[in-house]
Amino acid sequence: MQTMADECACEVLEVVPLVMRAIRSEMRSHRTPELSVPQFRALAFLGRHEGASLSDVAEHVGLTPPSMSKMVEGLVVRDLVVRQVSPSDRRRVTLTLTARGKSILESAHQGTVAHLTEKLAALSPEERATIVQAMQALRRAFASAKEANTGIVR
């Protein structure tokens, strides 16, 4: 069903940047502590993977190690993340959220979800259910092989 896959791709290409723009602008607004989307994603990853290394986070967020090193430096200065040398392999660093980091991650998440929820309230319950299903499918299609190894064939 090649036509359908193409149509689907076109729709995704048109709509995803639109939604992304809303997410970014909310994330950077002053209603919520100011975080860029990659910063938010890095904090969220650390929330789920306590003690991850710099490379782990870089790979998940999709940045090069130097860029991530710089981002982490900023997060450490802002007291959102603790960076420690790993005892077992002194080349590695171990990253964890501070209490403040956890709290700010949570606020940013809440604020953004609230804003999206407001927009989604214009839709019907059935449409929202469809969106949930679609997001789950897209997650399987686009998740990196490492983090969520589902049925992605090559």
Partner DNA sequence: TATTGTTATACTCTATAACTATA
Partner DNA sequence: TATAGTTATAGAGTATAACAATA
> For residues 61 and 39, what is the distance between their CA atoms, to the nearest angstrom?
9
> For residues 56 and 47, what is the distance between their CA atoms, to the nearest angstrom?
13
Binding-site partner at residue 110 among its own copies, DNA, none, CB < 5 to 8 Å by type: none
130: contact with DNA by CB under 7 A: no
36: contact with DNA by CB under 7 A: yes
Angle made by CA atoms 133, 18, 70, in degrees to the nearest 5:
95
83: contact with DNA by CB under 7 A: yes
Q: Which of 9, 50, 65, 70 binds its own copies (CB under 8 A)?
A: 9
For its own copies, the closer of residues 84 and 144 by Cβ is 144
For its own copies, the closer of residues 4 and 77 by Cβ is 4
For its own copies, the closer of residues 55 and 136 by Cβ is 136
Which amino acid belongs to residue 50? E
| Kind and range of the H or E run holding 104 | helix 99-120
> For residues 105 and 33, what is the distance between their CA atoms, to the nearest angstrom?
9
Q: Which of 7, 11, 50, 73 binds DNA (CB under 7 A)?
A: 73
